[in-house]
Amino acid sequence: MSDHQKILVIEARFYDDIADKLAEGACAVLVEAGYSVERVPVPGVFEIPAAAALGWNSGQYAGVVTLGCVIRGETDHYDHICREMSRRLMDLSVDDQMPHGFGVLTCENRSQAEKRADPAATNVGGRAGEAVIAMIAIKSKFLKTD
């Protein structure tokens, strides 16, 4: 399998149990579709965009899936982290033509996060895997050199 059949899965590990469930869902979808997966941990969601840019710019991957969780606290830290991380990932997707599956949860509480991460429930990780596969196909359609 060529490197262009490999998907980079970046996991913010601040909430390990939630990250594991998100990765379980994403990896199942990607492997079933015939992709190999390279999982790279980062400390928290704020570090995801830098890791995504480094990985994507290496030329080794067909796409990137980003996974993590931010749970609202008592300060506005949540808003800043969510806004900056999301904006930079969108910039990478558009400006660098990076096929991307966004699987970062932004929740009010742990219960919401656990439900959304669970592959047997909302399965946000699996949905992020499906999204990157769709975006790889879209990129391929528009960048054909025939």
Active site residues: 77
Report the relative pairing of strands 6-12 and 63-71 from DSSP bridges: parallel
DSSP, collapsed to helix, strand or coil, labels residue 15 as: coil
66 closest CA partner among 53, 83, 80, 79: 53
Helices 48-57 and 77-95, axial angle in degrees (round to 10): 10
Write b or e for each residue in 30-48: b if 16 or more Cβ atoms lie within 10 A of its Cβ, otherwise e. Answer: beeeebebeeeebeebbbb
Asked if 9 contacts 41 with a C-beta cutoff of 8 angstroms, the reply is no
| DSSP 3-state of 42 | strand
